[in-house]
Structure formats: structure tokens, C-alpha cells
Amino acid sequence: MTNTMKDGLIRIVIWGSVGFMVAVGWGVYFTNANKAEPIGPIIYTLSRLTVPLATVVDYGNFNFPIGIRTAVVANAATYGLIGLILGIIRRYSWPLRLSN
């Protein structure tokens, strides 16, 4: 495995870890939030932007609940995929380096 491949893999793992932490953070927040008070529009929007699976289930009108484990794993995978896509774009969008 070359250094470039290792760097790319490390970036994907970092992105996946960030997705994991974001989903766990929202899980802890919503577990401890007061159920009697409605969720503010800013919190609602931020949670839907940072956890794509919740957005799909919410707007898709699916009739099944999502557990925190499912949301965490799906969010980590989604962020890892985003990291992979951004790594590919980054790799092919840099200008070619020409030697003198």
C-alpha cells in the first residue's frame, strides 16, 4: 500500500469518525432534551443537515422508527462516503505539477 493510499484511507476514517461523533452528539442531545418543549427551527434544521438518514426518513414518510445505533452507523458511513468523494475530487482537481 502506497503512502497516497494510506493518506486517503486515513482521511476516509477521519470523515467516518466525525460522522459517528455528530450522530452520537445529536443522540445525547435529543435523549436529554425536554420532551414537553418543541424543538426550535435552528436545532431542527442543523440536525437534519448533519444526519442525512434522519432527513430521508422524515421527508420520506416512512413508518418505522430509527434507533440510535442505526443512525450512528449510517451517519458514519455517509460521512465516510463524502470523504471518499471529496478525496477523489481533490486528487483530480489539482493542477499537474511539471518539473523544470
Q: Which domain holds residue 21?
A: 3-92
Q: What is the pLDDT of residues 17-54, one digit of tens each?
A: 999 999 999 989 988 988 888 888 898 889 889 998 87
Per-residue confidence band for 89, with pLDDT thresholds at 50, 70 and 90: confident
Q: Is residue 21 part of a domain?
A: yes
Task: Provide the domain count of the chain.
Answer: 1
For residue 38, give the 3-state DSSP assignment.
coil
Q: Is residue 97 part of a domain?
A: no
- State yes or no: pLDDT of 100 exceeds 60: no
Q: Is residue 49 part of a domain?
A: yes
The predicted model scores a pTM of 0.80
Q: Is residue 27 part of a domain?
A: yes
Q: Is residue 100 part of a domain?
A: no
For residue 65, give the 3-state DSSP assignment.
coil
